[in-house]
Amino acid sequence: MEFNATLVVLAAGMGSRFGGLKQIEPIGPGGEALLDFSIHDAKKAGFNKVVFIIKKAIEKEFKETVGKRIEKIIDVEYAFQEIDKLPCGFVCPAEREKPWGTGHAIYCCRDAVKTPFAVINADDYYGADAYIQMYNFLKKQNDGYCMVGFRLANTLTENGSVSRGVCEIKDGKLVSVTERTKIVDCKYTEDDKTWISLPSDTVVSMNMWGFTPDVFGYCEEYLIDFLKEKINVPKSEYYLPTIVSKLMEKGIKTVEVLVAEDKWYGVTYKEDKDDVVKALSEKIKSGQYDF
């Protein structure tokens, strides 16, 4: 029997530090974006549907620049993350401008996803092994969730600091994720004065998660709790890792950590683009991609 798995792509956000719409920034020789590489890897691993979470404001440009390419190779559906898309009984404050966060994005795609699914960032390159491990986990169809983590040293840039979720793992299961917002050369600081070293092989979260559809119920439940408390806080955000943490704390779910040894690539800063283009060009030349 065929196993169906969906790839959910978070593509609604704008790249503030990069200064543009990173989701459709050309990287490949034919104008391919990073997510073209991701979808190539996901399809090869076994995923047979992609759901793009975007904003209505970028729908036309996104579909013309990326969607029409992807639709030729895999089933595609769109979900829209809008700030007024809230559970029944809640009205978005008129002054709200900022999106509600990644947890809200997942809430917004609940009607489009009916199978076990993976969640990725549109502007991250995770490598083929990450999708193979993810698909194989989802195919087991157990009750737990999973996360693909990466070695810290494989996620850094020479062009500035990065934020990374540092994982605590026990017996292959995720215990906690601690956000370190300023990491340079495997060292982090919280006061810009004292630097604390981290082992280069530390596992960090790059926002690649695996879920079963039951997560949508928890997502809505915790979103309601969040809105009751913070709907009138202008910059408050409801994060996907917050949902996962609550489920682990309550003993409702376990999260298996799958570690990918590939190098992660992303365009955090404009200066990163040349390095990413070069690295992925080499992968194309080696035959890994047929762009």
Whose CA is closest to 185, among 149, 204, 203, 159? 159
**Structure confidence at residue 290 (pLDDT):** 87
Phi, psi at residue 143, to the nearest 5°?
-85, -15
Using 50 as the pLDDT threshold, list the residues of the chain that sit under it.
Answer: 14-19
Pairing of strands 162-170, 203-211: antiparallel
pLDDT of residue 17: 41
State residue 176 phi and psi, 5-degree precision: -165, 160
- At residue 141, the pLDDT reads 85
Q: What is the pLDDT of residue 267?
A: 87
Model pLDDT, residue 277: 94
pLDDT tens for 188-233 read 999 999 999 999 999 999 999 999 999 999 999 999 999 999 999 9
Calculate the average pLDDT of the chain: 93
Q: Using one digit for the tens of pLDDT, what is the confidence trace for 27-44?
A: 888 888 898 999 999 999
Q: Closest by alpha carbon to 107, among 230, 215, 259, 269?
A: 215
CATH fold of 6-285, please?
Answer: Spore Coat Polysaccharide Biosynthesis Protein SpsA; Chain A (3.90.550)
The alpha carbon of residue 79 and the mean position of all alpha carbons in its chain are separated, in whole angstroms, by 15
Contact 131, 208 (CB under 8 A): no
| Domain boundaries, given as residue ranges, for the chain | 6-285
Secondary element (H or E) of residue 222: helix 215-230
Query: Which amino acid is residue 91, in one-letter code?
Result: V
pLDDT of residue 291: 82
Rounded Cα distance, 258 and 19, in Å: 32
